[in-house]
Amino acid sequence: MPRNLLHIPIVTAVALLAAVGEAASQDFRTAIGYGGGAVAITPLNAGGQGSEELRFEPGWIIAAHIEHRFGNGWLGLRAQGAYTQRPLAIADSTLAINVWFADAEFVLRPFGAGSARGVSPFVSLGAGLIKYGFGRGRPVEIVQANARYDGASEHRWAAVLGLGLDMGPVLEIQETPLGLRLEVGDHIALDSPFEPISGPRFSPVHNMRATLSVVSLVGGVGGAP
């Protein structure tokens, strides 16, 4: 899969943000969303002295979240999880590695809640964990990549940044309005799951995603129906 996999959803998100203007934000108190999209992950040994990159192939990702908004709706708190399985070529074999994401974020909107159908941009900022499923066992060294996995350190702390749009509601099922959420984000693992055999430590790992979710909108901000 080409590395420009994220370009189309990213360009779409930026174009929609530019067109939003003074559109009223959605009037919901709680949002529960499920969706999927694309993910691209930077090399696990970036900044090292190896002759080969340790890189996951870009591809699909699935995600779910629940968000609750406070006060007049400008501030929300979101819990989010995501999963992908990515191929990783090592020597003469290709491994299928499970990657799990879990985080909590503040969600900020430039506009308060409004009852009109419309589009609401937001930014998110938070922290979480990423689990790279390399398993537990004896240490493994990949000489060409100047990388070593210690056989235990699967979890990495991550900073999370996002930019997105809430759209709709677009339809209603059993009296529950449904909207759409388009988002681009970056889960930045502060440390690579690999360590250098020699030389400087590796750079943080960027896990960049673009997702489209269907969102159930529950309740109203400020007592709205």
| pLDDT value, residue 114 | 53
Q: Is the predicted pLDDT of residue 6 greater than 70, yes or no?
A: no
Rounded to whole angstroms, the Cα distance separating 7 from 16 reads 14
Rounded to whole angstroms, the Cα distance separating 194 from 171 reads 46
| pLDDT value, residue 105 | 98
Mean pLDDT of 150-161: 93
Rounded to whole angstroms, the Cα distance separating 190 from 41 reads 13
Mean pLDDT score of the chain, rounded to an integer? 85
Rg for the chain, CA atoms, rounded: 20
Q: Is the predicted pLDDT of residue 112 greater than 80, yes or no?
A: no
Mean pLDDT of 120-149: 93
Task: Write the CA distances from 81 to 65, 67, 176, integer angstroms.
Answer: 6, 12, 23
Q: Is the predicted pLDDT of residue 191 greater than 80, yes or no?
A: yes
| pLDDT value, residue 196 | 95
pTM here is 0.84
Mean pLDDT of 201-205: 96
